[in-house]
Amino acid sequence: MGTNRMTQEILSEIKLAKKALREKIWQKLTEEGVSRFPGAFGRIPNFVGAEAAAEKAASLEVFKKANYIKANPDSPQLPLRVKALLAGKTIFMAVPKLKAEKPFIRLDPAGLKVHPLRAATIKGAFKYGEPVAPEEMPSIDLVITGCVAVNLKGHRLGKGGGYADLELALLAEFQKINEKTAILTTVHPLQIVKEIPLEEHDFSVDFIATPESVFKREGKKLFPRGIIWEILPEDKLRAIPILGRLKVSIKSSKFME
């Protein structure tokens, strides 16, 4: 068996293991009655106690000191996004699937004409926020991310689209985040597991907030070094404008050298 074939088989096994774990967590949250509308399956699951978990996360020094935050748009982190805006922090949310020429939305509380409860939703961000390109963004102080599952080593499992990893890799390419940038998530305790299968592009979280507790990462930090072009699916490269532009820029830089 060739090396490439072996590698592909291992990657396939990891993806299957991730899929099985997602299904297990979604099912558990549903059976225990702690998932909120519109249900856990197929998404970053909203959960009972999300507001209390946001309170715990907001008590962290990394949150208090942050001025610029990159946040996911999912429902369970809405309370934390609202808290950030109320505290005068600027939030950047990614356009779904990064499909726009300017793939991030800036929510600056100083310029908002509506309450943060409205602005911090996905629809609200599009309506009241300002589209920006990565090069127009400041250095990010804190990343808020959603998880389907997470463990105390800081390893996380998303919903399977790979966009959270890609968003951070993109910001790393533009030097808007680095290994010192704190990353936190809020989850229900049932989402905390022992082991999570890992792939090359995965990143870890530094802080996990539940409605009752806050945990600090125990393992080595996994941080995106940038876009891993060799494993980037062609369909994503074609569908995401900023990637094509970035690839051309990198090729031009190498040619100039």
Q: Report CA 111 to chain centroid distance, whole Å.
A: 25
Instruction: Quote the CA–CA distance of 146 and 83 in Å, as a whole number.
Output: 16
Overall average pLDDT of the 100-121 stretch: 96
- Tell me what percent of the residues of the chain surpass a pLDDT of 70: 95
Q: Is residue 149 scored above 80 in pLDDT?
A: yes
Q: Predicted confidence band at 93 (pLDDT cuts at 50, 70, 90)? A: very high
pLDDT (0 to 100) of residue 255 = 41
pLDDT (0 to 100) of residue 233 = 84
Q: Is residue 49 scored above 50 in pLDDT?
A: yes
pLDDT (0 to 100) of residue 30 = 98
Mean per-residue pLDDT of the chain: 93
Q: Is residue 147 scored above 90 in pLDDT?
A: yes
Overall average pLDDT of the 17-35 stretch: 98
Overall average pLDDT of the 184-210 stretch: 96
pLDDT (0 to 100) of residue 34 = 98
Q: Higher model confidence: residue 231 or residue 148?
A: 148
pLDDT (0 to 100) of residue 224 = 86
Coarse DSSP helix, strand, coil percentages of the chain, rounded to the nearest 5 percent: 45, 15, 40
Q: Is residue 251 scored above 70 in pLDDT?
A: no
Closest CA to 175 of 142, 206, 140: 140
Q: Higher model confidence: residue 133 or residue 225?
A: 133
Determine which helix (DSSP H) or strand (DSSP E) holds 40, and give its type and residue range: none
Could you tell me the pTM of the whole model?
0.93
Overall average pLDDT of the 87-115 stretch: 96
Name the β-bridge partners of 182. 142
The answer to whether 150 touches 196, Cβ cutoff 8 Å, is: yes
Q: Predicted confidence band at 219 (pLDDT cuts at 50, 70, 90)? A: confident
